[in-house]
Structure 1
Amino acid sequence: MLNRNYYLEILDELKDRFIYFSEVGEKLILGLQDEALYKVSVNELFRIVHTIKALLHYADLKDMLKAFKALEDVLSILRNKKPPITQEIVDWLLLLNDTFKFWSDCIEQDKLDDVEPIDSYTLNMIKAASVSSQKPSEILKNLTIVLIETEDNVREGIIKLLSKKVGKIFSAKNATDIGEILSKVKPDILITSTQIYGKNFEAFILKVQEKFVNIPILFLSNKVTLEKDKKFKFGCFDCYVEKPLEMVLLEKKILKIAKTYYDSKDIKLSKNDLDKCINLLKPLPDIVFKLQEVLADKECGSREVANVIVQDPILTTKILRVINSPLYGFKKEIASIQQAVSLLGKDIATSICLQTTMHNNLTIDMSAYGITNDTFYTVSKKRMDLAINWFSKVSFSKLPILSTSALIGNLGQVLISQEINARKQTKDFLNLVRQTNPMAAEVEFLKTTSYDITADILAHWHINPLLVDAVRFTYDFTEAENETKQYAIANYVVFNTINSISSEIDLSIVEDMCEFLEEMNFDPKPYRMAVEKLLKD
């Protein structure tokens, strides 16, 4: 317990600091939008916040301390970013500043009981905004779209939808028009009917891809030809929209492309560079696709999955090792792969196989993050264990996606470490990881995150679109479609609970996540019980 006189001295100092913050805070926050004032503003904000955080710690004012810790993390990220920052971050910071002004009055008037804590959702959204470069809708305003559609009413509907949302849009209804447009315009996104050019459509697309390397293409396909069209696999497996068009769905697909391909004005790891890295990855072995094919059959059971797994000795050994681990706690050793798959469940067994084959296909050197390969795998396993323990009590139907995304969510770090090492920036990158956090370092050096890259790898391997989006929208869950949002929120909690560097659980984070789950209308009790079980094991 602090000496009372010392405690009063700290409160007096807090009053002075809060008064100063209330006087200059808004001006400094607005200064973040001015390139000339950015560095001075962000450094002064960081200095003030760091000082107040230390005083709040000594005064044991936990609710206020939590907010200032979060704000210090955000400012640490912003100090390593180049201006300008998004309006979203500025708006969030101004909202915080208004709250701090009220707290200042409470301290000055000795009414600490009137202080209301800032909810975890708001603090998490501010952190997410500081990492994310721009909202997809903002990115879209700077892009050029070329549209090819033979049906007049469809073409006009799309133009009407996009005309005020994109930078420029050019449209064509036949081969002659499109040839002229593409000779003059370099599109950021191509939207095309699969009916254009008839039988020569495939040759046309290959020619476009040769001229505009790695251009994202969205295909408009008739219901009759949809499955046939998908076999072309020109781009992402999820790049088809079925006619008759639902404009809401079309817009969501375009926004997703904008986020995936053009998430920053200042990209240091370009989409071309990233695609080159991903394309160098070995293709997944046939057994993965056999498993996906079996799972696609609604009539399939554990026996059919086990019959595929048993063809691979490495996967068989891995499954048996997992089922006999302390996590499941069976008294007798499970020696049969059929029994193991039956006890694990076909989806979780498949998730383990997927992770094993993916990691076997990658050369892993995690030195850029300052961790060993063993730590990397430990993080994966602990995250999967947490997801299984948690959602086996919540929604068993969500376990296949969540256990898999938990297991392979850090896959993108492998490519980032590889790229950082190749650039000979390992020391600087690692220093920033230790000073801030891995995501802040990723954004600063490469203007992307390991979760986006993981999603790109999964898309490259034609994995379930829901799994791809569950990972991609982990830190942008408010932007996710309804079907994806709950998965993304669960991933956010799992990834934050298990530290990707130490592989340990931070108990203060657990409390934050419980509050966050309540605000997201999740029951936090199953999550807390899952964490406690993991700590005991």
Structure 2
Amino acid sequence: MKVQDLLNQTDKLPNVPDVVRELIQLFNDPNANYSDIASRVVYDQTISLKVLRMVNSAYFGLSRKISSIDEAVVLLGMEKLKTLVIASGFANSVSKVDGLKLNDFWMDSFRVAELAQWFAKRTPLVSEDEAFTAGIVHNIGRLLLHLAQPSLAIEIQTLVANRKMGRVKAERDLLGFTSQEAGKALMDLWKFPPQLGLAVQEHKHPFGDGSDEPQALACVLNLACYINACIAHERDSDLVREGFPGAVGKAAGLPESIIYELDDALIIEGAFDQLLG
């Protein structure tokens, strides 16, 4: 099987709204007019309602109720609104997937996104917005696999759950490629910025074969996934620091002292869960 076999099933691809794709494609345009995009958000009722619900949640702690996207832009700024729109757009891109609990999948993706953003704030090499989006889409290849080849996806999941095989080996043996490679192919199909697709493909092993300089965004994503796994397994903070991949942190542009800030990362909760459902 080839990755293209998944992409050819156009009816199975996640249905990400145009306004979300436009926001992501505008990452590389310093002259982008985000106010035009904001005006388009208004016409997507599903996203607008979910974003406004999130804006009015305790997470933002605003002093009064916000009733329009225009007000949200004024009070939150375009960057925060962009984050909410992207999160909402992806969370509602599919309604049902065989073998995958969607709420758990997106809650996990949101937390990785927030952790990636947390690390990005501490390095000059990665933008916060890009890190957040990379976190949301880091596992999109697995979602694609479950949509296009549910039987194979469930077989791989069973092998991994029973500890018969690691996920990367199981995917290569049964598919001939990894879900990270499938994710990059989907990013390319959607014409997202190339660095996003590269980060999705390389984040599991950012140093690759050691021949190339690791991509900083892939490194940040790798660290976010590491901390997310530590949270999921309730790992003691001393063990988290002990196991922290320092070489990856250095390649991400983070200071060595970052290990003393990890306690703050370990208490990050999924603030975007309200966008689900």
Give yes or no for contact 1:514–1:528 (8 Å, CA) kept in 2.
no
Q: Distance in 1 between matches of 2:170 and 2:75?
A: 41
Match of 2:131 in 1: 402
Higher relative CO (CA 8 A, sep ≥ 6), structure 1 or 2?
Answer: 2
Equivalences for residues 436-515 of structure 1 within 5 A: 437-479=166-208, 485-499=215-229, 504=232, 506-507=234-235, 510-511=240-241, 512-513=243-244, 515=246
Q: Distance in 2 between matches of 1:374 and 1:305?
A: 27
* Residues 302 and 531 of structure 1, relative CA distance in 2, 3 Å threshold: same
Residues 346 and 393 (structure 1), Cα distance of their counterparts in 2 relative to 1, 3 Å cut = farther
Among candidates 307, 310, 315, match of residue 47 of structure 2: 315
Q: Pick from 97, 102, 109: which aligns with 1:373?
A: 102
State the one-letter code of the partner of 2:262.
R
What TM-score do the two structures reach when normalised by structure 2? 0.74
Residue 279 of structure 1, CA deviation:
7.3
Give the aligned partner of residue 275 of structure 2: none
Following superposition, the deviation at residue 462 of structure 1 comes to 0.9
- Aligned residue identity for 1:491: L
Larger Rg: 1
Q: How does 1:122-271 map to 2 (within 5 A)?
A: 269-271=1-3
Q: Name the CA distance, whole Å, in 2 between partners of 1:478 and 1:514.
A: 12
Instruction: Give the drift of 1:457.
Output: 0.9
Deviation at 1:446, TM superposition (A): 1.9
Report if aligned partners of 1:379, 1:503 keep a CA contact under 8 Å in 2: no
Per the alignment, residue 262 of structure 2 pairs with: 528
Partner Cα separation in structure 2 for residue 518 and residue 287 of structure 1: 33
- Within the candidate set 85, 88, 95, 1:353 is matched to 85
The amino acid that maps onto 2:215 is K
Structure whose residues are more often strand by fraction: 1
Return the alpha-carbon distance in structure 1 between the equivalents of residues 206 and 174 of structure 2.
23
Return the alpha-carbon distance in structure 2 between the equivalents of residues 317 and 530 of structure 1.
31
Cα deviation for residue 377 of structure 1 reads 1.4
Identity value in percent = 18
1:291 and 1:308 in contact (8 A); partners too: no
In structure 2, distance between residues paired with 1:473 and 1:354: 22
Output the CA distance in 1 between the equivalents of 2:101 and 2:33. Answer: 38
- TM-score of the superposition, structure 1-length normalised? 0.42
Counterpart of 1:365 in 2: which secondary structure? coil
What secondary structure is seen at the aligned counterpart in 2 of 1:475? coil
Contact 1:477–1:489 at 8 Å: present in 2 too?
yes
Quote how far apart the aligned CAs of 1:472 are.
1.4
The count of corresponding residues between Structure 1 and Structure 2 is 262
Cα separation, partners in 2 of 1:428 and 1:472, compared to 1, 3 Å: closer
> Structure 1 residues 476, 418: CA separation in 2 closer, same or farther (over 3 Å shift)?
same
Deviation string, structure 1 residues 225-247 (Cα, Å, up to 9, x no partner): xxxxxxxxxxxxxxxxxxxxxxx
Q: Which residue of 2 aligns with 1:421?
A: 150
Give the C-alpha shift of residue 391 in structure 1: 2.6
1:281 aligns with 2:17: no
| Distance change in 2, residues 1:535/1:294 (3 Å) | closer
1:422–1:496 distance in 2 versus 1, CA, 3 Å? same
Residues 1:475 and 1:301: Cα distance change in structure 2 (over 3 Å): same
Deviations 1:26-73 (A, max 9, x none): xxxxxxxxxxxxxxxxxxxxxxxxxxxxxxxxxxxxxxxxxxxxxxxx
Distance in 1, matches of 2:206 and 2:160, equals: 26
Write the letter of the residue equivalent to 2:228. Answer: I
Q: 1:298 aligns with which of 27, 30, 36?
A: 30
CA distance in 2, matches of 1:471, 1:336: 34
